């Protein structure tokens, strides 16, 4: 037989052996437990939870369980692990308890019944009669539920301390390199380099940004009320810190409450529990934050600790503001970035323009010597001659691309349907006054624009490093707009992760307080996830969402072995996630423990 034929026959025989029928596979079912867990990758999250000092903070701040049995930190940790593992209901704790196998490692998982009884402790029954359809009311948090605010503050304190430690380490390394190049002897004291000063300045001047936004949690359960979108839901008002990628607070309310209701009071509660390391804050919000009491509170420096608070808040397109925009001369509009678009008639226009608006609302102009408020308008051209698209973007578009062109195409189709010219708008209003027109679209200089407004108290010349710009850059109108618009999309991303990738979208009970505690724990799980990927994993995983790390790390197999009076958690480096687990353990040993 030829050699090639023998090789081919040998390969075919090998394939037959590999594709043997399943009936020939021998299956053995053994008694007892294997000691293996499909959630071994959750152990770094457990250790990080302890490193941050959360168990002590939770037990002292919440205090719902002070007697025998499971303590508050046991309940919180088990629900955090349930969120990271993919569970989305209290009943899933039973499965987690059977499969996690961390009891011998000091991680108990309470039963679903025990957890439900614990969640009921967060309900303030005295406030139930004040809730109802047609009433804008936010129930007062009982002492147990308000303790979550101090828990979130503890995580921020830990993150700030780790950032300062990292800056000091980087400054020390840079100083050592400078000393080596300068040829300084080891006995001489190292000079204070730029890196060391940067680390000290960061520790001394820690400023954060507060992004506030609300979201609905739709449910058909009893106790939920109808929102303005005609759905039964609850609502959460969240405060997010982009510098540390952490949720700092979450206020729970009924779905019928207006999104911006009580925003100033919520801001005061957030500011009151910020850690001592924070000495400056800025505020960003959507149109729901355009409220006189909130704007004056920030601009007049009524907070005793932080004084005047810089803000950038979207401005509603009311009739008076639209009229003020129409008074802006065409020469005053400036390009926003270098992005351009070519319209169908061949005209090259900036993709977006901005101008400062001379607008003085009565509600903010009551004091003769009061602080100033600056209003900005942004307009995006819409081409009525080209309803199917906007043409090609210029080559110098830094943020362009297929997604941007698709977004602009959708907007121009919407604009064309809503209003083509000012005369047509007037005719439509006269013929169909009952239909509400989208007031974002305006006719300026014979063209249609999509317009938006921003109000701020940041003056030109302010230090840009306070708002995320490079050192030495001064703020101006364009940079203020860019800073305010950085919040766009991130809040929606946080809400999507909490509701769709973690357990926040589930409403576990008809008890208002129990649902509020469940949501806060989902937000805490997101914070643990964000800290884990930022502090323990390589930088390439910095944008990984919970479902990504759930596939890569959290659901890796481990084996718990007891030998010689010791309990050992075995991880195989060759398994999926083994390298990530090993990297996380090395970084955990480097973290400083901040237990008080």
Range from 130-134, 373-377, 433-437, 587-591 carrying the lowest mean pLDDT: 433-437
Buried b (16+ CB within 10 A) or exposed e, 81-94: bbbbbbbbebebbe
Going from the C-alpha of 86 to that of each of 41, 54, 522, 547, the distances in angstroms are 13, 22, 11, 8
Is residue 480 very low, low, confident or very high in pLDDT (cuts 50, 70, 90)? Answer: very high
343 against 545, higher pLDDT: 545
Helix (H, G, I), strand (E, B) or coil at 42: helix
488 against 344, higher pLDDT: 488
Distance CA 130, CA 568 (A): 54
In a domain, 72, yes or no: yes
354 against 32, higher pLDDT: 354
166-207 pLDDT, tens digit per residue, is 877 776 655 555 555 555 434 444 444 444 444 444 444 689
pLDDT of residue 418: 46
- Average pLDDT of every residue of the chain: 83
Contacts of 401 (CB under 8 A, 6+ apart): none
CA count, 13 A, side-chain hemisphere, 225? 19
Q: Are residues 154 and 48 in the same domain?
A: yes
CB 298 within 8 A of CB 282: no
Q: Are residues 454 and 514 in the same domain?
A: no
Number of domains in the chain: 2
Q: Are residues 118 and 141 in the same domain?
A: yes
Cβ neighbourhood burial of 77 (10 Å; 0-12, 13-18, 19+): buried
Q: Are residues 358 and 281 in the same domain?
A: no
Q: Are residues 436 and 472 in the same domain?
A: yes
Q: Are residues 446 and 503 in the same domain?
A: no
583 against 383, higher pLDDT: 583
Q: Are residues 265 and 323 in the same domain?
A: no
Q: Which pair of structure tokens corresponds to residue 520?
A: 């806060």
pLDDT of residue 428: 42
CB 552 within 8 A of CB 581: no
Range of 370's domain?
Answer: 315-485
Q: What is the pTM of this model?
A: 0.84
53-82 pLDDT, tens digit per residue, is 999 999 999 999 877 789 999 999 999 999
Q: Are residues 272 and 129 in the same domain?
A: yes
pLDDT of residue 594: 44
pLDDT of residue 404: 59
To the nearest 10°, the Cα dihedral for 136, 139, 145, 148?
Answer: 30
454, 485, 516 — which closes off a domain? Answer: 485
In a domain, 24, yes or no: no
């Amino acid at each position: 037989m030829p050699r090639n034929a023998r090789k081919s026959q040998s390969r075919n025989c090998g394939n037959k052996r590999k594709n043997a029928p399943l009936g020939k596979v021998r299956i053995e079912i053994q008694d007892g437990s294997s000691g293996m867990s499909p959630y071994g990758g959750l152990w770094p999250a457990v250790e990080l939870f302890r490193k941050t000092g959360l168990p002590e903070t939770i037990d002292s701040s919440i205090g719902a369980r002070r007697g025998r049995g499971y303590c508050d930190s046991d309940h919180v940790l088990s629900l955090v692990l349930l969120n990271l593992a993919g569970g989305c209901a209290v009943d899933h704790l039973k499965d987690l308890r059977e499969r996690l196998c961390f009891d011998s490692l000091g991680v108990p998982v309470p039963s679903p019944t025990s957890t439900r009884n614990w969640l009921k402790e967060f309900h303030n029954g005295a406030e139930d009669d004040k809730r109802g359809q047609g009433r804008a009311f936010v129930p007062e948090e009982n002492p147990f539920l308000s303790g979550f605010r101090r828990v979130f503050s503890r995580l921020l304190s830990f993150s700030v301390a780790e950032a300062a430690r990292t800056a000091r380490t980087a400054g020390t390394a840079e100083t050592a390199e400078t000393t080596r190049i300068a040829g300084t002897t080891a006995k001489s004291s190292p000079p204070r380099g730029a890196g060391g000063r940067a680390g000290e300045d960061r520790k001394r001047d820690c400023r954060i940004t507060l992004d506030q936004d609300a979201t609905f949690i739709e449910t058909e359960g009893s106790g939920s009320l109808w929102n303005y979108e005609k759905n039964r839901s609850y609502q959460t008002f969240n405060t997010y810190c982009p510098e540390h990628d952490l949720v700092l607070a979450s206020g729970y309310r009924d779905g019928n409450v207006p999104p911006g209701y009580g925003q100033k009071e919520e801001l005061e509660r957030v500011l009151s529990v910020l850690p001592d390391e924070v000495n400056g804050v800025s505020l960003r919000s959507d149109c729901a934050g355009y409220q006189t009491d909130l704007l004056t509170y920030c601009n007049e420096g009524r907070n005793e600790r932080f004084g005047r608070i810089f803000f950038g808040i979207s401005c509603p397109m009311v009739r008076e503001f639209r009229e003020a925009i129409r008074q802006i001369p065409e020469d005053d509009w400036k390009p926003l970035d270098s992005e351009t678009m070519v319209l169908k008639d061949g005209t090259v226009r900036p993709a977006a323009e901005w101008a400062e608006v001379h607008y003085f609302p009565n509600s903010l102009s009551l004091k003769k010597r009061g602080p100033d408020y600056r209003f900005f308008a942004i307009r995006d051209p819409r081409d009525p001659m080209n309803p199917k698209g906007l043409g090609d973007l210029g080559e110098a578009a830094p943020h362009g691309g297929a997604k941007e062109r698709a977004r602009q195409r959708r907007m121009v189709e919407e604009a064309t349907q809503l209003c083509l010219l000012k005369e047509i708008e007037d005719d439509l209003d006269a013929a169909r006054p009952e239909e509400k027109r989208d007031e974002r679209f305006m006719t300026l200089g014979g063209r249609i624009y999509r317009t938006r407004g921003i109000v701020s108290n940041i003056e030109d010349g302010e230090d840009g490093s306070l708002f995320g710009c490079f050192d030495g850059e001064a703020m101006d109108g364009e940079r203020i707009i860019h800073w305010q618009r950085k919040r766009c999309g991130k809040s929606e991303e946080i809400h999507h992760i909490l509701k769709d990738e973690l357990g926040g979208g589930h409403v576990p009970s008809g008890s208002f307080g129990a649902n509020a505690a469940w949501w806060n724990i989902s937000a805490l799980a997101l914070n643990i996830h964000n800290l884990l990927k930022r502090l323990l994993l390589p930088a390439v995983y910095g944008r990984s969402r919970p479902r990504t790390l759930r596939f890569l790390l959290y659901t890796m197999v481990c084996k718990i072995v007891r030998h010689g009076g010791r309990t050992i958690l075995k991880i195989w480096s060759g398994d999926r996630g083994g390298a990530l687990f090993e990297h996380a353990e090395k970084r955990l040993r480097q973290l400083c423990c901040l237990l008080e």
